[in-house]
């Protein structure tokens, strides 16, 4: 079992930056794929970026967001720059108990563990 807790969300102006963190505990492994998803009101949860043996970004995140992990500290971060109002959503940390290919990495159903989410609001 793995427990995930997100933090770092908040209110920022368009063009600003925010750094989200995900703290993991339990039976963690550096082999586990991890990812960030987000969900806006009335919309389906969407993939933002994931990290396994390789790193992959959704088109909406490319060039603006950076995912990283610290296996020693069991943490994962999402650095978000040049934020836009459309980035407003609840951001979730996810972990799969295995490595994932790029194709599977983008599917929410592939993940075994989820955090509670942290709200990110970008004002115009």
Compute the distance between CA of residue 30 and CA of residue 35 in angstroms, rounded to an integer: 13
- pLDDT in the model for residue 71: 84
Compute the distance between CA of residue 92 and CA of residue 119 in angstroms, rounded to an integer: 9
- pLDDT in the model for residue 55: 97
What DSSP string describes 47-108? EEEEESSSEEE-TTTTTTEEEEEETTTTEEEEEE-S--GGG-EEEEEEEESS---HHHHT-G
List, run by run, the mean pLDDT of 10-residue segments along the chain (124 residues): 96 98 92 96 97 96 96 93 98 97 97 98 97
The secondary structure of residue 109, as a DSSP letter, is G
- pLDDT in the model for residue 60: 97
- pLDDT in the model for residue 67: 97
- pLDDT in the model for residue 12: 98
């Amino acid at each position: 079992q793995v427990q995930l807790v997100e933090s770092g969300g908040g209110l920022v102006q368009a063009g600003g930056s925010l750094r989200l963190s995900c703290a993991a505990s339990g039976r963690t492994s550096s082999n586990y794929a991890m990812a960030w998803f987000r969900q806006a009101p009335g919309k389906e949860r969407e993939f933002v970026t994931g990290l396994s043996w390789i790193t992959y970004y959704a088109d909406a995140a490319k060039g603006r967001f950076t995912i990283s992990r610290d296996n020693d500290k069991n943490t994962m971060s999402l650095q978000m720059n040049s934020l836009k109002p459309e980035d407003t959503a609840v951001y979730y940390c996810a972990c799969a108990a295995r490595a994932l290919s790029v194709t599977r990495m983008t599917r929410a159903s592939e993940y075994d563990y989820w955090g509670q989410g942290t709200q990110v609001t970008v004002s115009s």
